[in-house]
Amino acid sequence: MANVVVIGAQWGDEGKGKITDLLSRSADVVVRYQGGVNAGHTVVVKDQTFKLHLIPSGILYPATQCVIGSGTVIDPKALIAELDKLKTLNVSADNLKISETAHVTMPYHRMIDQAAEERRGTHKIGTTKRGIGPTYADKSERTGLRVIDLMDLKSFRENLEWTIANKNVVLERLYDLPPLDPQAVFDEYAQYAERLRPHVIDSSLAIYQAVQQRKNILFEGAQGTLLDLDHGTYPYVTSSNPVAGGACIGSGVGPTMIDRVIGVAKAYTTRVGEGPFPTELSGEIGQHLCDRGAEFGTTTGRQRRCGWFDAVIGRYAVRINGLDCLAITKLDVLDEVDEIQVCVAYDLNGKECHELPGSAELFGQCKPIYKTLPGWKQSTAECRTLEDLPKQALAYLKFLAELMEVPIAIVSLGASRDQTIIVEDPIHGPKRALLYENGSQSQVA
């Protein structure tokens, strides 16, 4: 039995959906613990592509219970559309459970998010404009509406009338937007309530009972470490805590119930939205990575900014999350590159810096210090073991593991489930590992 947290070790979009899907086959329960419909996890099974936003990636396994935890924010309209889409693909959602204490994204949240981002002008953050930040803001102000409120329509109507009266003042006076009609919003959300009612549970209790029954539990984060509200590149961050510690708060479990943490990182680096990005590539190589890696956001469709692998933020992710193994994705995207660069440190105003600056301004002044490695110039798409990899590709993985000082457990070589090398099963224990001890390179078993 193992309870494992899967987190993004970069700025999100690392391929967590595929990794969570792979690990879900060994899990009894998959818990999504933070974020909202701003997340986008893509899973490819044979000739079908599944794009998930709120629903945990484990939904594709009928025997796996999937839980949307209390740390998430739920847009009922978007969630129901996702359920309907899965139905058209012949995927049952009977195994989906929703926390009764998760907060609900309302129409005014989306309106405020969009208007506020437009008003920022050149200071924009790069929000998805899906209402996530304002929903979390209301949660912190203790004025939010939760799923459990939605289940009691009489109480919901009363709370909604008071809330919308206050939100209309903001919409009209601050953003010059039309007011919302409380009755229209109530009628719409009352329908959502009835549709979602069969899925609503006390999720913390359900997860605790699964722990007591010694079931395998997978905790799935959205976004990535560098987008964490407290530990990311603030203010260019999300509104929740994607880091491993957020799994406990967002799921309602204690830290002693977590056994392992696996970080997912691309073989290069991408970022969506605004903010500093030291290894960003603006020329031909950057466009090549974008095109070959299909680097367009699952949720927004925005083109992702691409750059070389950044070991400084990688080591930061190891420290902040307590990572004990890595999944490296999209190694195949580098198949045609002549030389590969890896950022091993920063030059910050003439001084060598090995740690992530806490200030976005200072981070923006960092220049990457690179180590250059040879490319392998051949396809890795059909490789299924480490021994199948070109020697330069294996050397590249070993170099990353050495820089990050954690073993690589999984290597992904494409979008499909079968395009994967499982070096070590993070749930059922090691078979063989790409390890580094005390900075010295060991042999692959």
Cα 100 to Cα 152: distance, rounded to the nearest angstrom = 11
Show Cβ contacts of residue 149 under 8 Å, excluding neighbours closer than 6 positions.
104, 155, 156, 159
pLDDT of residue 298: 64
Q: What token pair was written down for 439?
A: 């900075």
pLDDT of residue 124: 78
Cα 393 to Cα 76: distance, rounded to the nearest angstrom = 44
DSSP 107-121: HHHHHHHHHHHHHHG
pLDDT of residue 42: 72
pLDDT of residue 442: 41
Buried residues in 334-349 as b, exposed as e (16+ CB within 10 A) = bbebeebbbbbbbebe
DSSP 31-76: EE-SB-TT--EEEEETTEEEEESSS-GGGGSTTSEEEE-TTBEE-H
pLDDT of residue 441: 41
Give catalytic residues, as residue numbers. 13, 41
pLDDT of residue 300: 66
Show Cβ contacts of residue 184 under 8 Å, excluding neighbours closer than 6 positions.
none
Structure confidence by residue, pLDDT tens digits, 231-248: 999 999 999 999 999 999
Q: Are 354 and 278 a contacting pair, CB within 8 Å?
A: no
pLDDT of residue 52: 84
pLDDT < 70 regions, the chain: 1, 41, 46, 298-300, 429-445
pLDDT of residue 434: 57
